[in-house]
Structure 1
Amino acid sequence: MAATYPDDATALVTGGASGIGAACAGLLADAGVRVVTADVACGADVHLDVTDPDAVERVRADLGPIDILVNSAGVVGPSAPLVDIDLEQWRRTFTINVDGTFLMCRAFVPAMTTRGWGRIVNLASIAAKDGNPTQSAYSASKAAVIALTKSLGKELATTGVLANVVAPAAVQSPMNADTDPAILARSQSLTPMGRMGRPEEIAELVGWLCSNAVSFSTGAVYDASGGRAGY
């Protein structure tokens, strides 16, 4: 089945100013979906700190019901051995990656269930499954995103709203601009395709999961890892 979307569908993409988020927004817009991007960075349609419950609520009130939610906002966090990580760095990573995903889902899911159709795609990482050394905060927070999505998918299974998660390997995106080169090199060495992913490649999978083509999959993890994923 081709990837089609409901008429007059609206999508909200967090982290939409760059990287995977921007690629997802572009793909959906090209398919005729009305897309609203949200980010703390310049260039998004809406300035939004996903960790701020009041700000999330204001955006929900301003936008009204949406059909598609892509939670792409995230940070890599500290790159250091676990024993050297400051508690505030650890908490900040979880606040953005996990609390942000939770707050966005909590705000926008009710209207989706009322309307009987919706698609939620949360961005995790292969690190959530493998556990990257010197990236314990990032790995653990993305594992939490996977567990959150699995639970949410089961909760919504009979509502017409599907929630799935995409777990990419390292991607050439601004989020990785400050990542330790040694970590990126390790990721690439573990990837059978021998390269990093491109945002538009991840967007193709996200776009499919947001479409009518998917109807019998929820609470599932989809890898986009160049062959790295082993399970």
Structure 2
Amino acid sequence: MQNCLAGRRALITQSDGFMGPVLCEVFAEQGATVVASAEALSDPDAAARVVADAGPIDILVANLAFTAPTTPAAEVGAAEWRDAFAALVDPLPRLMAAVAPGMLARRSGKVLVIGSASALRGMKRASTYSAARGAQLAYVQAVGVEWAPQGVQVNAIAQNFVDNPTYFPPEVQANPRFQERLAREVPLGRLVAAREDAQFAAYLCSSAADCFVGQVFPVCGGWVAR
């Protein structure tokens, strides 16, 4: 790819966490005008405010992060469940409602949700996080097929074992037990590089990917659902 996002204006949410920094870097390299917002979106009014402040946009990258709880399912409380959904799920319809008037009127636009493959395979002690990430993917699939006839493509990346400071900080990567886990569970034998993931995101937000709607793309170093 070279300048595949030239002339596009892209809003990237939570730009200081998860995949935000590398997404901003790669999208700018591909020619996009990047509007980076570091604001948390749990507040009900935040999504509309962030989109309004960004001005007209061609691309929305919903990069939402939340520290995954490790509570056994039988012990999950209402507060944990509510906090996870407030951070990962509730902002999506608010963001979509905010970008809808401009994108649907122009019959053009891209929305990409940076999600997690935890929704694609059962993981012990991850019921709250997996449920919230799964809700993201179901939402993308539904809105994707609804908006496709109006020229707007909505898709998601469901990732795991991708290098990022939120879920795989240096101290985790240096842990011998984590290295053993990589060798055991990931056919690639390493984390997917952050730039590899961001370059794929840039492709999905380019005109070359207009044929994809309501799709969930696993990016997991060969780790698959079972």
Q: Same fold (TM over 0.5)?
A: yes
The normalised TM-score by structure 1 is 0.86
2:222 aligns with one of 210, 224, 227: 227
Q: Does 1:81 align with 2:44?
A: no
Q: How far apart, CA to CA, are the structure 1 residues paired with 2:206 and 2:160?
A: 23
Instruction: Confirm whether residue 163 of structure 1 aligns to residue 154 of structure 2.
Output: yes
Matched, 1:36 2:35: yes
Kindly indicate whether the alpha-carbon contact (under 8 Å) linking 2:143 and 2:154 is maintained by their aligned counterparts in 1. Answer: yes
Matched, 1:216 2:211: yes
Distance 1:136 1:168, change over 3 A: same
Matched, 1:132 2:127: no
CA RMSD of superposed structures (Å): 2.4
Instruction: Name stretches of at least 5 consecutive residues in structure 1 with no aligned partner.
Output: 40-47
Counterpart residue identity of residue 29, structure 1:
A
Going from structure 1 to structure 2, the CA distance change for 1:194 and 1:114 (only over 3 Å counts) comes to same
Determine the structure 1 residue equivalent to 2:47.
56
Q: Which 10-residue stretch deviates more, 14-23 or 210-219?
A: 14-23
Contact 2:6 2:30 in 1 (8 A): no
Letter in 1 for 2:62: N
CA contact (8 A) 1:2 1:213 kept: no
Instruction: Please list the CA deviations of residues 154-193 of structure 1 after superposition, one character each: whole Å capped at 9, or x if unmatched.
Output: 11011111000101112232221498x7789656632111
Is 1:124–1:145's contact at 8 Å kept on the other side of the alignment? yes
Q: Does 1:120 align with 2:115?
A: no
SS of the aligned residue for 1:130 comes to: coil
AA at the equivalent of 2:24: A
Q: 1:185 to 1:88 in 2, by over 3 A?
A: farther
Cα deviation, residue 50, structure 1: 1.2
**Which whole-Å deviations, capped at 9, do the CAs of 1:4-44 have from their partners, x for residues lacking one?**
2352x2101112114412111111111111101112xxxxx
Matches for 1:103-118 after TM superposition, within 5 Å: 103-118=94-109
Give the aligned partner of residue 12 of structure 1.
11
Q: Which moved more, 1:58-67 or 1:113-122?
A: 58-67
Give me the whole-angstrom Cα distance separating, in 1, the residues matched to 2:204 and 2:216.
11
Q: Percent identity?
A: 31
8 A contact 1:3–1:212 mirrored in 2: no
Letter matched to residue 201 of structure 1: E
Match of 1:143 in 2: 134
Provide TM-score, normalisation by structure 2.
0.88
**Contiguous gaps of at least 5 residues in structure 2:** none
In structure 2, relative to structure 1, the CA distance for the partners of 1:141 and 1:211 (3 Å cut) is same
Amino acid at match of 1:5: L
Change beyond 3 A, Cα 1:79–1:188: farther
Distance in structure 1 (CA, Å) of the matches to 2:215 and 2:28:
25
Contact 1:77 1:89 in 2 (8 A): no
Matched ranges for 1:172-191 at <5 A: 172-176=163-167, 177=169, 186=181, 189-191=184-186
Q: Offset at 1:200? A: 1.4
Closer/same/farther in 2, CA of residues 188 and 128 from structure 1, 3 Å limit: farther
Q: Does 1:72 align with 2:67?
A: no
1:22 counterpart residue number:
21
Contact 1:164 1:221 in 2 (8 A): yes
Contact kept in structure 1, 2:62 and 2:113, CA below 8 Å: yes
